[in-house]
Amino acid sequence: MKRLFVLFIFLFTCEKDNDCYENYYQTITDYSVNPNATTPKGIQVDTGGYQVDLARIDGRIDKIWSCIQDVMAINPIPQPEWQCLKTKFSPDEKLKRDCLVIKMVKPFYTNLKCSEENWQFIGYDEKSTEGLKAPDALCEAKGLKPSKECPCMWRTAIQNENIIITPPDIYLWEIGRLTSCNNVWHSPFAKCLSF
């Protein structure tokens, strides 16, 4: 009986956690997340005390998902440089809204000398006093040149596999979360980055 119990525990712990999107993102943030709103189409949102247009979130995710499906239809096999977990794309795949949670966080802003736009960035957690710096190599891979005055910083992140951490502008979605690709900047998915 004891062996059966041990086998059951082993099988139970080895079972896949869920049927959500595969990703290999390291958790770099430590926000407490307590969804207090749901979009009309079912995405959970922790508004962080910000005014959030929930219908706008659905509208943007619909446009992004449509774009992703179009790219998948033309490019069914991911290229190695895209760094995808999937080995094949299915343009008929359904959007798993119940797998998405969005956490709105306090924005940090760039120096306007660094960018034509006043980008919003994220901090490490609720107590952060400055934006969370990213490795320079990630910005360089996007064709940017980080410096001491204009460091490479995170605009959005994935926390605990299914939580999208973003400032209220929601400019940049984690398309990597929906595609399983880490390097979407140098792939056909790049056109889906900012709706």
Cβ neighbours of 27 (radius 10 Å): 12
Query: CA-CA distance, 22 to 163, in Å (whole number)?
Result: 13
pLDDT digits (tens, 9 = 90+) for 70-106: 999 999 999 998 888 888 888 888 888 888 899 999 8
Count how many domains the chain has: 1
60, pLDDT greater than 70: yes
pLDDT digits (tens, 9 = 90+) for 2-14: 554 444 444 444 4
pLDDT digits (tens, 9 = 90+) for 138-160: 888 777 888 888 888 888 888 88
> What percent of the chain stands above pLDDT 90?
27
Q: Is 38 helix (H, G, I), strand (E, B) or coil?
A: strand
Q: Is residue 173 part of a domain?
A: yes
Q: Is residue 6 part of a domain?
A: no
| Domain coverage including residue 130 | 22-192
130, pLDDT greater than 50: yes
Backbone angles phi, psi at 91, to 5 degrees: -65, -10
Q: Is residue 168 part of a domain?
A: yes
Q: Is 49 helix (H, G, I), strand (E, B) or coil?
A: coil
Query: CA-CA distance, 106 to 126, in Å (whole number)?
Result: 7
- At residue 185, the pLDDT reads 80
Q: Is residue 9 part of a domain?
A: no
Q: Is residue 39 part of a domain?
A: yes
Q: Is residue 3 part of a domain?
A: no
129, pLDDT greater than 60: yes
